[in-house]
Amino acid sequence: MTAHDPRLTAARADLAAAHLKGVVDAPAYADGAAMVGAAGKTWIRRRPAPDAPVETELLFGETFTVYDVKDGVAWGQAALDGYVGYVALADLVPAGVPATQRVTASSTFVYAKPDLKSPVLRTLPLHARVTAGAGDYAEIAGGGFVYARHLAPLRAAADDFVAVAERFIGVPYLWGGRTPLGFDCSGLVQAALALAGVAAPRDTDMQQAALGAAVAITPDLQGLKRGDLVFWKGHVGIMRDAVRLLHANAHHMTVASEPLAKAAHRIAASGSAIAAIRRL
């Protein structure tokens, strides 16, 4: 079998997605069934075990194609960014009417009735996808009502993705996180760009390869602009201006803003120099 990125290739030793016939060798292939996230958010894990490493998150309403189910765990691939892994089957439901809107607030509540005093059925994070009706409290497919001003059409785009990211200063760092309940570095970049209408891969190496054009790395770190992405091996941050870096990081354990020079010095001391700077 030709080498393929296992993060993005729905293929295991025993099974592969049917669309990969002729691309990867497998003893069996599956067509897959379209499901969507039914929990506010749920983990996509590397292995089918509750203590397995987390890869990323699947949000409410996002599509996940399931190729195999065993012991209450589904193996499949997320439509948003192609990530492959294992999800609790209880957190999925069959795909229905395509989503029309997404949550643009940091989070929002699904109410039992179109009334802010009614019981809350669940909480939806930023980027959760819904099919919503009209009214100040929009009824969503599957039941419940969401405050309509917390929603926007899927194609609506913010003007400044950096301003989006700045909303999340102080949000906790969370490995695999891609919501304001917790971000990792590349999850923050992906989420901020998504609100600006830019689809981004999930991991730092993928983002470095796919986003923007190269900017020269100078010894004094001059010439940078707002929105430039600064990459280290396994880490990425967003320039707020020519000097300040915004990044979800395990040093502060939050989304933090600090001088790029300070962050670069600290990260270099741990053995990692800046690998690339990309300008969108």
List, in order, residues 6 or more apart from 136 with CB less than 8 Å away: 114, 147, 148, 149
Contacts (Cβ under 8 Å, ≥6 apart) of 214? 276, 277, 278, 279
Strand partners, 65: 34, 77
Q: Residue 124 to residues 61, 63, 79, 202, 220: CA-CA distances in angstroms?
A: 10, 15, 19, 20, 43
Taking only the tens of pLDDT, the chain with its 280 residues reads: 447 899 999 999 999 999 999 999 999 999 999 999 999 999 999 999 999 999 999 999 999 999 999 999 999 999 999 999 999 999 999 998 899 999 999 999 999 999 999 999 999 999 999 999 999 999 999 899 999 999 999 999 999 999 999 999 999 999 999 999 999 999 999 999 999 999 999 999 999 999 999 999 999 999 999 999 999 999 999 999 999 999 999 999 999 999 999 999 999 999 999 999 999 9
Taking a C-beta distance cutoff of 8 angstroms, is the pair 263, 247 a contact?
yes
Show the domains of the chain with their CATH numbers. Answer: 16-94 (2.30.30.40), 101-153 (2.30.30), 161-279 (3.90.1720.10)
What pTM does this model have? 0.95
Q: Which pLDDT score, from 0 to 100, does residue 1 have?
A: 40
pLDDT at position 42 is: 98
Give the Å distances, CA to CA, from 17 to 31, 193, 208. 6, 29, 27
